[in-house]
Amino acid sequence: MSTMPTEERIGQAWALHRQKDYKAALDIYEEILRKTPNNIDALYGKGLSLVSTGDKPGAAEAFTKALDLAKASLQAVDVTSVVDGHHGSNDLDTYEDDRYLMLVRMINQRLDEVKAPAEAE
């Protein structure tokens, strides 16, 4: 098990994925998720790697968990934003929600792709 910071391990996994070494990338994502099971970035990367290996049901499971976490994080940011005097989600005066708004959109797109009928492939 690596002692490298999680963000760097995710970067390694992304590099392996781009090199089409999906199994090695998946191994890193799963290592991260054993330590931090709610890591949205690792779940999203795991989903991408599983899609690339043909495991659409596994990918859908990883994407669904990532989506649930991204929505919960967005809701928490929204509450904090309102407490701080802002308007909540997608307030142009703040940037804290941008990451989660983007993640929710991206993950929903990936879920649509893996749940699409097989003839669309």
Look up the pTM and report it: 0.81
DSSP string, 21-72: -HHHHHHHHHHHHHH-TT-HHHHHHHHHHHHHTT-HHHHHHHHHHHHHHHHH
118 falls within a domain: no
The candidate with the shortest Cα–Cα distance to 96, out of 82, 83, 77, is 77
CATH of the domain at 46: 1.25.40.10
Range of the domain at 71: 6-112
- Other C-beta atoms closer than 10 Å to the C-beta of 1 total 7
Quote the percentage of the chain above a pLDDT of 90. 66
In three-state secondary structure terms, 84 is: coil
Q: Is the pLDDT of residue 43 over 50?
A: yes
- Reported as a pLDDT band with limits 50, 70 and 90, residue 76 is confident
Tell me how far apart the alpha carbons of residues 65 and 31 are, in angstroms, rounded to a whole number.
17
120 falls within a domain: no
The whole-number average pLDDT for the span 57-71 is 96
97 falls within a domain: yes
